[in-house]
Amino acid sequence: MENRVDINDEEEVLHIVMFPWLAMGHLISFLHLSTTLATKGHRISFISTAGNLRRLHQIPPRLSPLITFIPFPAIPNLPPNTESSMDAPHHQAQLLKIPFDFLKQPLLDFLEKISPNPDWIIYDYASDWLPGLAAEMSVSCAFFSLFNVATMVFFGPPAKVLSGDCVRSSAEDFTVVPKWVKMESKIVYRVHELTKYMEGSEGNQSGHEREEL
């Protein structure tokens, strides 16, 4: 027997906008979170490009009134049907910053049409410009990390990352325990584990500066 979608009259029904990064692992994880929130009775607007939305699995029929998929158009000047990381070789992954950064204006247009404003926007790691946009719209926002705590600690505390105090530019930089990890640890990368990542993360193919959080 299926679980009922129910919410007490005394509880607040929220309208939550989901804005995941252009990778199927991220899209699927955001969809799982969406279905969990919808089960609690909250309304979800799930945003991505049309091609990515077509790839997602079907949601339970009982939740369909609460989850609305909002398709944004694919951005031109990319190879045909390139809308997620699975569509591009890893060394061209930076190209996806182009459509993702250009989704800022369609997202703003979407938010301006909603009345009243959504209660929350839940965003992914790549949309560093979104908190500023949400502030302009007076909408609360929250970062949904797909990385576990150990991974985030290894990459560095936010204050150090933003200040440039933990810049690491080569694969070898990740093969030692970070200086901010004071406890004894043997958790480090091997060079071969970073090679593919470094090839796909060099440079900024979006063609403009990315804003800080």
- 54, 127: one domain: yes
H or E stretch at 134: helix 130-136
Q: Looking at residue 165, what is its pLDDT?
A: 75
CB 96, CB 39: distance < 8 Å: no
Residues 123, 67 within the same domain = yes
Q: Are 162 and 212 in contact (CB under 8 A)?
A: yes
Same domain membership, residue 158 and residue 123: no
| Short-list 128, 129, 136, CA closest to 111 | 136
Show the domain range for 159.
149-213
In a domain, 5, yes or no: no
Is-cis flag, bond preceding 65, omega within 30?
Answer: no
Do 83 and 127 sit in the same domain of this protein?
Answer: yes
Active-site annotation, residues: 26, 124
Please indicate, yes or no, whether residues 180 and 209 belong to a single structural domain of this protein.
yes
Residue 79 DSSP code: -
What's the CA dihedral at 19, 21, 26, 30 to 10 degrees?
A: 0
- Using an 8 Å Cβ cutoff, are 174 and 194 in contact? yes
Question: Distance (Å, rounded) from C-alpha 185 to C-alpha 200?
Answer: 28
Q: What is the pLDDT of residue 2?
A: 44
Distance CA 102, CA 194 (A): 28
- Count of domains observed in the chain: 2
φ/ψ of 72, rounded to 5, equals -100, 150
What is the reported pLDDT for 199?
60
Q: Can you tell me the distance from the alpha carbon of 181 to that of 185, in angstroms, rounded to the nearest whole number?
A: 8
Same domain, 68 and 137: yes
Question: At which of 125, 146, 167 does a domain end?
Answer: 146
pLDDT at residue 1, as a whole number: 36
- Identify the CATH number of the domain in which residue 120 sits: 3.40.50.2000
Mean pLDDT for each consecutive 10-residue tract of the chain (213 residues)? 48 92 94 97 95 92 96 75 78 71 89 92 92 93 89 79 75 83 84 69 47 34
Q: Residue 84 has what DSSP assignment?
A: S
**76-80-81 Cα angle (round to 5):** 100
The domain boundary residue, chosen from 116, 146, 176: 146
User: Given this model, what pLDDT does residue 9 score?
Assistant: 47
Does residue 7 fall inside a structural domain? no
pLDDT at 144: 95
Domain final residue, candidates 122, 146, 170: 146
Residue 37 pLDDT: 97
Residues 139 and 156 in one domain: no
Decide if 3 is inside a domain. Answer: no
Instruction: Tell me, yes or no, whether 129 and 210 share the same domain.
Output: no
Same domain as 131, residue 203: no
Q: Which of 74, 85, 94, 76 is nearest to 21 (CA)?
A: 85
Are 25 and 38 found together in one domain? yes
Same domain? 107 vs 210 = no
Prediction pTM value: 0.78
> What is the model's pLDDT at position 13?
93
